[in-house]
Amino acid sequence: MRGKDVRLDKVSIRFGDSIAVQPTDLAIHAGEFFSILGPSGCGKTTLLRTISGFIQPTEGRVLIGGEDMAGKGPNERPTALIFQNLALFPLMSVAENVAFGLEARGVPRAERQRRARELLELVALEGFGDKKPADLSGGQRQRVAIARALAVEPSVLLLDEPLSALDLKLRQHMRTELRAIQRRVGITFIYITHDQGEALAMSDRVAVMSRGRLEQVADADTLYADPATPFVASFVGEQNVLHGTVAGLTDDIVQVDTPVGRLSGRVKGPLAVGEAALVLVRPERIALGVGGAPAGENVIAARLASRSLEGASVHLVCAAAGQNLTVTVPNGPNVRELPEELSLSFGTRDALVFPVGALAHG
Amino acid sequence: MSTATESAGARLVLNIYIGLFVLYLFLPLAVMSAAAFNSYDYPSVTQWRGFTLHWFVALANDQRLLQGLVNSVLVALGVIAVSIPAGLSGALILTRLGQRSGTFLYSVLVSPVLTPGIILGISSLIFWREFGVPGGLFVAVMAQSSFIASYAMLLFLARLQRQDRTLEEAALDLGASHTMVFRRITLPFLAPTCFTAAVVAFLQSFENYNTTVFAIGGEWTLVTEIASRLRFGLSPVINVVGVIFVVLTLVAATGYVLLKGKPKR
Amino acid sequence: MGSLARAYGRPLATLITGITLLWILVLILVPLGAMVEQSLWWRDSKGDVSLAIDRLYNDISLIELDRNAETDPAKQAAFDKALAEKQAEVATLEAEEKNPPKTYGFANFTRMSALHFYIFVRTILYALLVTALALVVCYPVAYVVALASGPRKAVILMVALIVPYAINELLRVYAWLMILDYRGVINGILGWFGVVDLDNRGWIPFLENPSAVFLAMIYTYVLFMVFPMVNTLETLDRNQIEAARDLGASTARIHRRVIIPHAKPGIAVGCIMTFMLSAGSYSVPAIMTRGQGGDWFSQLVYRQFYESNNWNMGSAYAVSLLVVCTAFILIMMRLFGVGLRDIAK
């Protein structure tokens, strides 16, 4: 099996009057584990179904391995799709399910059976070939779906939130398993999810999508540390959001007047003095100044409102000038008896300042 | 568990009412069945002349009725052959059409169910005469199929509504041709409904009188033959036919309840 | 067509579209159209055409006589010419007599006799009455089966309803014929008590009364009212009834405000089916009257086809019946606010 690259060339998709996907360019490398991450209704499933051939793009081209896919149906493309509900054929045995794609290609029966056995072995389901899908557990069904898709030796495997029906433990286990399978077969995986944990844990690169538009395409670390838009910043991980007005601007550092005082941060986008801006700070970047000198350039005086223990870390909700700020600190002996009055501080490099734009949660 | 919306007295009245209703349904059938065993040659239960199976023998020797039975089966098989493909096609189209264009087609395809049977018989009779085909078994098949196909379609539609569309997509995605998807995924899913629809079609056709009597011309089915016999006076042979129908129906209904009542594994 | 081809592939989409079109055209629409067309024309068999033909044959015989008496060839030729003219005239008139020209119009409808029109109206009124009575009789039955009995009792009741429903309608009518006949069950029982004297034909002629047809018809079609109502009532969440009761509603109010509104589509379907079946029933009146009486409209239609051999008139009668049934369906749909999709379930 050989992975192929997938390119979207100014692809846009409309259903009647509503625009499902805005004009989009995207290049997914051969052999890459690529995720498309976004809230439900953002157009990610539409995009996936366009790549697999169930939907024809209204405009633009889909190229797989450099070949234009226009006019090719899902049964003529080198892709295989794993459905959200898995779509295993309930009336066929597990082995027949796995061999179905080979049957469609006219592979002789003996060869089909041999390949089905091999693939069931690959997904650690040897001996389950004669069972019906209904007799398997959720995780086993999952692996049958993967084997069935791999049987047709696709160059690109498309996965539509296949883990969403599993419980948390199994989901985490399947993440590593999927990643391992991808490494073993070496083909391109395109993975759709609304779960950022899945996307960040498995993928080489992630595209964040919102309202039919790609917000950012980057590896997991970049997405987290250096988000391109307020949406990405607030969708991936947690953020404290403060509204304010730009007071001063020097190179890549900007000062913003907010209800909690003047804050400085990194410039993310076109800003000008006097304009509205958003200041975003991650809860774990805020340090508690309990006695001693504040650690960062930005200091906010706040009152402790509530505290919740998460295990390894502690979430604090602090109130400052009518704003609630969340602070995450590592659990330790000194967090049990925090004073009412706190001074919160963070560095200029930890605060990101965006022009006003859409956020992930309202 | 019954919902106690009414007092015990009201419940009693309701139960008596239901009892009377069931009695009303069954008493005439019981009278009809009993008369089949009376040796009096006029079907009667009030003038009992002794138990006999004579009328069963008479039925077995009645060539016209037996030929009618054969004709009924032929017509019913013809109706199955026409109405199952038609009903299936209609249902397949309707499940893929949009709400608006679908509703019009739906109305046309369902209209025969809501049309009086004699109208279907008459219109088929007139239509086929244009092609030089006189009333007979063939016209009866066509006339009955026009509405039995609608019943079949409704059964298929109900089944298709419960279909998981992604199964067909998955098969297509795995490289299957549309024909293979239909053969391996859609048809196996519809197979139980094909069987049910065939049974329903057979029964509907076998029982049909109002449509058939207009379309049958000079030929006859079991039912039209019975009807024309009744013109010339009652005969216990007809009661024997009735007994056979009642027994078969009871057996089928009991079997159905037992099968359905069995807990699934 | 595009979406069909995408869903089933071109060959299959063409096939199922073709079959469906055949069904619509060959089994539904064109036969219906043929019937309507048939109802809109008639052939006038004119008596004066036959008279004219008779007169022409007389003329021809006379001319032939004259011609045979004549010896002058010139005059003979003149006779021959006249003869040929007359014979041509006879030929056209005979063709016309054999195959009178079609005349289109509504005369088949307007020519319905007063008696037939009376039967038409009475049939519809009887069918309405059957429908109303069946509704009243069936509502409590449907209510008990669907909502007021345990699962075991409900199954038993369903079977008790399905068995008579599944037995051929002719036999159900026949059972009533046995009961009401001159020597039937009722007369027989009355005879035991000496109320009637069967040996001297002193029976009560129940069958000669139109209400015999009415009685058998209710028996035959009452179940078509029960099943649609049971089907819709079964989907009612019983908690709704309990909630209404809990809020202090009386039994009557619960039925009026909760149960009946929910049963509406079922009631509409039941009424439509019962009306359609009874208005168009041929079996019940034909058997109850042993093919003699002409009390029901469908019998008139049958006679036009198979006794008077007047298919045009028969078609007109059938179309009239169809129009009434369609109107009834539309009225019920409007009245109960249900669509066709709710109806055919």
What confidence tier does C25 reach under pLDDT thresholds 50, 70, 90?
A: very high
Cross-chain residue pair C321–B116, CB shorter than 8 Å: yes
Residue C272, by phi and psi: left (phi above 0), alpha (psi -120 to 50) or beta?
alpha
Q: Do B110 and C340 touch (CB under 8 A)?
A: yes
* Conformation bin of residue A318: beta by default, left when phi > 0, alpha when psi is -120 to 50: beta
Token code pair at residue C24 = 């619509």
Nearest residue, CB atoms, A148 vs list B174, B180, B184? B174
Q: What is the pLDDT of residues B121-146, one digit of tens each?
A: 999 999 999 899 998 999 999 999 99
Average pLDDT over residues A181-207: 92
Per-residue model confidence (pLDDT) at position C151: 77
Q: Using a CB-CB distance cutoff of 8 angstroms, which residues of chain B are in contact with residue A100?
A: 171, 174, 176, 184
- Read off the pLDDT of each residue in C228-240 and give the average, rounded to a whole number: 87
pLDDT at A219: 94
Q: Is A14 helix (H, G, I), strand (E, B) or coil?
A: strand
Chains touching chain B, criterion 3+ CB pairs below 8 Å? A, C
Please report the DSSP string for C13-76 in residue order.
HHHHHHHHHHIIIIIIIHHHHHHHHHHTEEE---HHHHHHHHHHHHHHHHHHHHHHH---HHHH
Task: Give CA angle at B80 (B76, B86), nearest 5°.
Answer: 140
Say how many CA atoms lie within 13 Å of C251 toward its Cβ.
11
For residue C113, the one-letter residue type is S
Given a contact cutoff of 8 angstroms between Cβ atoms, the answer to whether A94 and A102 are in contact is no
Q: What is the pLDDT of residues A290-309, one digit of tens each?
A: 554 555 688 888 888 888 88
Closest-CA residue in chain B for A99? Answer: B174
Cα–Cα distances in angstroms (integers) from residue C238 to residues A267, B13, C149, C245, C330, in the given order? 62, 21, 12, 11, 31
Residues of chain A contacting B171 with CB distance shorter than 8 Å: 89, 100, 104
Nearest CA-CA partner of C35 in C285, C276, C305, C315? C315
What is the residue type of C335? L
Average pLDDT value for residue range A320-329 = 88
Q: CA-CA distance, A245 to A227, in Å (whole number)?
A: 21
Q: Any alpha helices (H) in B36-116, and if so which ranges?
A: 54-60, 63-96, 99-110
| B63-167+194-235 CATH choice from 3.50.30.60, 3.40.470.10, 1.10.10.10, 1.10.3720.10 | 1.10.3720.10
pLDDT for B92 equals: 93
End-to-end alpha-carbon separation of chain B, Å? 24
CA-nearest of B91, B78, B105, B83 to B186 is: B91
Cβ contacts below 8 Å, chain A against chain B, sum to 63
Residue of A nearest to B179 (CA): A104
Any idea how long chain B is? Answer: 265
- Tell me which DSSP letter residue A74 carries: G
Shortest distance between the Cα of A15 and any Cα of chain B, in A, equals: 14
Segment A6-11 shows an average pLDDT of 94
Place of tokens 């109960």: C336
Q: Give dist(CA A246, CA A255) in Å, integer.
A: 6
Provide, rounded to the nearest whole percent, the portion of chain B with pLDDT above 70.
95
* C-alpha distances in Å from residue C18, one per residue of B109, C21, C24: 14, 5, 10
Q: What is the CA radius of gyration of chain C?
A: 31
A89/B169 CB distance under 8 A: no
- Give the chain B residue nearest C240 (alpha carbons): B3
Chunked in runs of 10, what are the mean pLDDT values of chain B (265 residues)? Answer: 61 88 89 86 77 85 92 96 96 86 89 93 93 92 96 93 90 91 93 93 92 91 90 84 89 79 46
Q: Do C189 and B85 touch (CB under 8 A)?
A: no
Instruction: Give the pTM.
Output: 0.83
Pairwise CB contact (< 8 Å): A87 & B167? yes
Interface of B with C in 73-102 (CB under 8 A): 82, 85-86, 88-90, 92-93, 96-98
Q: Which residues of B touch A73 (CB under 8 A)?
A: 172
Q: What is the pLDDT of residues C121-172, one digit of tens each?
A: 989 999 999 999 999 999 999 998 888 777 777 778 888 888 888 888 888 8
Q: Helix, strand, or coil here: B8?
A: helix
What are the domain boundaries of chain C? 1-30, 47-102, 115-343
Q: Does A100 touch chain B (CB under 8 A)?
A: yes
Contact B146 C27 (CB under 8 A): yes
pLDDT of residue B265: 36
Q: Which of A74, A89, A91 sits opposite B173 (nearest CB)?
A: A74
Q: pLDDT value at position A57?
A: 92
User: Would you tell me how many other CB atoms lie within 10 Å of the CB of residue C104?
Assistant: 9
Of C20, C184, C277, nearest to B86 by CB-CB distance is C20
Q: What is the ipTM of this complex?
A: 0.87
Mean pLDDT of chain A: 89
CA–CA separation, C203 and C187 (whole Å): 6
In angstroms, the CA A17 to CA A22 distance is 13
Question: With respect to CATH, is domain C115-343 assigned 1.10.1740.10?
Answer: no
Which helix H or strand E contains C116, and what residues bound it?
A: helix C114-146
The better pLDDT of the pair C202, C229 is held by C229
Which chain C residue has the Cα nearest residue B223? C170
C-chain CB neighbours of B234 within 8 Å are 174, 177-178, 181
**Residue environment code for B102-133, b if the CB has 16+ CB neighbours within 10 A, otherwise e:** eeeebebbbbbbbbbbbbbbbbbbbbbbeeee
Quick one: tokens of C267?
A: 């009631």
Q: Give CA–CA dist B88/B205, Å, rounded.
A: 18
Sign of CA dihedral B144, B148, B150, B152: negative
Is the CB of B169 less than 8 angstroms away from the CB of A87?
A: yes
Residue C106: Cβ within 10 Å count: 10
Phi first, then psi, for residue C52 (nearest 5°) are -60, -40
Q: Which of B11, B113, B245 sits opposite C171 (nearest CB)?
A: B245
Contact A300, A343 (CB under 8 A): yes
pLDDT tens readout for residues C243-275:
888 888 888 888 888 888 888 889 999 999 999
DSSP letters, B219-234, are ---HHHHHHHHHHT--
- Domain ranges, ordered by start, for chain B: 63-167+194-235
Contact B124 C31 (CB under 8 A): yes
- The C-alpha atoms of residue C220 and residue C216 are separated, in whole angstroms, by 6
The pLDDT of residue B156: 95
Q: Strand (E) positions, chain A?
A: 6-15, 18-28, 33-37, 59-64, 67-68, 79-82, 156-160, 188-193, 205-210, 213-218, 240-250, 253-258, 261-267, 276-281, 287-289, 298-309, 313-320, 323-330, 341-346, 351-355
What's the CA gap between B24 and C219, in Å, rounded? 8
Q: How far is CA A344 from CA A85, A119, A239, C222, C268, in A?
A: 46, 55, 15, 81, 71
